[in-house]
């Protein structure tokens, strides 16, 4: 038994050494996997935060767009109503104008009863309406862009 005891001890020592080596490798693999998992979770959280931020910005942009699109539509509707009122005579434009005499060759003073009423030509009325509509539309567009820059490009 004397010869067997050192052999058994040597076998047990080699087995314990092998088991220790295997346990160390498994532990190292576990530590690497846990580190990779934590990095993946952190990356996923960062990406989700970015997605949430982008979603919030898209909602804000949609709200701004809806607001200013409605304002532009309202301005166009108001301009169209004014155009219709001008065409029907319900409203009139006030202009500083010099009126030519109703009869050719008459040199009567301005303001006499034979003077023609001042009125824009149909082309001038259309041009006025177009300019007024475009000015309001551009004003609303600029306001929308200014608010977008203030709120979104901080």
pTM of the predicted structure, to 2 decimals:
0.50
Predicted pLDDT at 55: 95
Here the tokens at position 37 are: 């998992």
Summarize the confidence of residues 6-13 as an average pLDDT. Answer: 89
How many residues belong to the chain?
154
What is the spatial distance between Cα 144 and Cα 71, in angstroms, rounded to a whole number? 10
Predicted pLDDT at 68: 87
Predicted pLDDT at 45: 97
Residue ranges of domains in the chain:
62-154
Indicate if the pLDDT at residue 26 is higher than 80: yes
Distance of CA 94 to the CA centre of its chain: 40
Summarize the confidence of residues 90-114 as an average pLDDT. Answer: 59
């Amino acid at each position: 038994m004397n010869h067997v005891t050192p052999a058994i001890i040597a076998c047990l020592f080699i087995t314990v050494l092998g088991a220790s080596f295997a346990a160390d490798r498994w532990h190292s693999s576990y530590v690497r996997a846990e580190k990779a998992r934590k990095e993946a979770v952190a990356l996923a959280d960062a990406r989700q935060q970015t997605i949430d931020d982008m979603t919030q910005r898209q909602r804000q942009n949609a709200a701004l767009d809806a607001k200013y699109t409605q304002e532009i539509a309202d301005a166009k509707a108001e301009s169209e109503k004014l155009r219709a009122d001008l065409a029907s005579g319900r409203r009139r434009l006030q202009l500083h104008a010099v009126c030519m005499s109703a009869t050719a060759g008459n040199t009567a003073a301005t303001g006499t009863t034979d003077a023609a009423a001042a009125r824009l030509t149909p082309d001038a009325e259309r041009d006025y309406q177009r300019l007024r509509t475009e000015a309001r539309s551009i004003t609303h567009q600029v306001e929308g862009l200014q608010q977008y820059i203030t709120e979104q490009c901080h």
